[in-house]
């Protein structure tokens, strides 16, 4: 049996990843760290993805910032694969306590790496990186060679870990890869994220429980993908990568205005009747356009997306109340 360790296992990416792994391999044991003690919801969501079995999953309430705890776990399970997906527990927390988020991201990565070193364990290691690391540029298109110049402590921490991945791979021969992920959503996304904010706002208005919708900008363009597709990329990177770094995104830019329009039309509403622009909700110096140049992952790993932006939004709306 092969042991796999996933940090942030109860987040949307962790749920899709567990489901995918169990559909492809019945000779694995999956260990996952989580801050969320709601195991019932986790398994309900796995069932919703028609995941074949659950008996080989163990959820762990472990402090990943404590080296001794991480080291003992790594020593005990000797993972053949690690997927480091953990991140801030909420968008609000990462903004309000950004230096704590910065420190946490770096400490968790270092604890995992140093535990592997101490126990002399070689493993396939996937590190979740972020498109927020990129420097502002005129084209708004980004690939593995694009300049990095993060604007937030969160993005800076992701960049620091990304550089460590490249160093461990290039100079030390580790089987470690960085996946630079662009925006991705699903029915499992927490309600404080933008798409879910839009959906919940439109739903409240349709039920006469609200009469306005606030947003910072309609003009920003982002690369949104289905989380299940992004996880397909994560899995391919950790199991068949030819390189140590890949951007993972649809390659299609969608203005926030289009997201809002799709959602409000589903509820048979005209968003212009309820819209309030509140610029305080948008970060200063925000890049207007952030879109993946995904040619490398498409050509090397034959990765592609399965849902259009319209299909993704409708999926999230229709499954909203069931999960």
243-269: per-residue pLDDT in tens?
999 999 999 999 999 999 999 999 999
CA 250 to each of CA 157, 182, 225, 290: distance values in angstroms, whole numbers, following the listed order: 24, 8, 6, 11
- Residue 94: the pLDDT is 56
Higher pLDDT residue, 26 or 304?
A: 304
Is the distance from CB of 17 to CB of 85 less than 8 angstroms? yes
Can you tell me the distance from the alpha carbon of 87 to that of 8, in angstroms, rounded to the nearest whole number?
7
Q: SS3 sequence, 207-269? A: CCCCCCEEECCCCCEECCEEHHHHHHHHHHHHHHCCCCEEEECCCCCEEHHHHHHHHHHHCCC
Higher pLDDT residue, 212 or 280?
A: 212
Q: What is the mean pLDDT of the chain?
A: 93
Mean pLDDT of 132-156: 93
DSSP 81-118: EEEE----S-HHHHHHTHHHHHHHHHHHHHHHHHHHHH
Residue 301 binned pLDDT confidence (cut-offs 50, 70, 90): very high
Can you tell me the distance from the alpha carbon of 197 to that of 202, in angstroms, rounded to the nearest whole number?
9
Fold of 2-186+224-249+292-306: Rossmann fold (3.40.50)
- pLDDT surpasses 90 at 1: no
- Residue 93: the pLDDT is 56
- Residue 126: the pLDDT is 98
- The enclosing H or E element of 21 equals helix 12-24
Mean pLDDT of 270-295: 90
- The enclosing H or E element of 298 equals helix 295-301
Can you tell me the distance from the alpha carbon of 209 to that of 130, in angstroms, rounded to the nearest whole number?
36
Higher pLDDT residue, 175 or 191?
A: 175
| DSSP one-letter code for 177 | E
- pLDDT surpasses 70 at 182: yes
- pLDDT surpasses 90 at 152: no
Lowest mean pLDDT among 52-61, 164-173, 277-286: 277-286
- pLDDT surpasses 90 at 281: no
Tallying the residues shown for the chain, one arrives at: 323
Instruction: Write down the residue that tokens 């950790």 correspond to.
Output: 238
| DSSP one-letter code for 308 | -
pLDDT digits (tens, 9 = 90+) for 22-65: 999 989 999 999 887 788 999 999 999 999 877 789 999 999 99
């Amino acid at each position: 049996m092969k042991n796999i360790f996933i940090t942030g296992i109860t987040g949307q990416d962790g749920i899709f990843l567990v489901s995918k792994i169990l559909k492809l391999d019945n000779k694995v044991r999956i260990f996952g760290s989580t801050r969320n003690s709601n195991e019932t919801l986790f398994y309900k969501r796995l069932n919703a993805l028609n995941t074949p079995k659950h008996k080989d999953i163990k959820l762990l309430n472990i402090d990943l910032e404590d080296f001794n705890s991480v080291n003992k776990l790594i020593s005990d399970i000797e993972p053949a694969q690690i997927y480091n997906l953990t991140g801030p527990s909420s968008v609000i927390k990462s903004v309000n306590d950004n230096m704590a988020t910065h420190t946490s991201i770096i400490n968790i990565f270092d604890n995992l790496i140093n535990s592997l070193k101490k126990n002399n364990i070689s493993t396939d290691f996937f590190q979740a990186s972020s498109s927020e690391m990129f420097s502002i540029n005129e084209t708004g298109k980004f690939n593995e060679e694009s300049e990095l110049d993060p604007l937030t402590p969160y993005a800076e921490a992701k960049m620091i870990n990304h550089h460590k991945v490249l160093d461990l791979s290039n100079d030390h021969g580790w089987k470690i890869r960085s996946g630079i992920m662009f925006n991705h959503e699903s029915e499992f996304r927490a309600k404080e994220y933008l798409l879910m904010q839009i959906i919940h706002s439109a739903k409240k208005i349709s039920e006469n429980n609200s009469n306005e919708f606030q947003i910072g900008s309609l003009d920003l363009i982002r690369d949104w993908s289905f989380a299940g597709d992004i996880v397909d990329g994560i899995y391919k990177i950790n199991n068949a990568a030819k390189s140590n770094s890949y951007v993972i995104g649809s390659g299609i830019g969608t203005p926030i205005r289009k997201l809002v329009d799709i959602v409000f039309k589903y509820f048979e509403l005209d968003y212009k009747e309820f819209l309030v622009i509140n610029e305080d909700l948008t970060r200063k110096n925000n890049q207007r356009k952030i879109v993946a140049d995904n040619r490398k992952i498409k050509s090397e790993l034959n990765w592609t997306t399965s849902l259009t932006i319209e299909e993704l939004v409708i999926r999230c709306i229709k499954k909203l109340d069931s999960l």
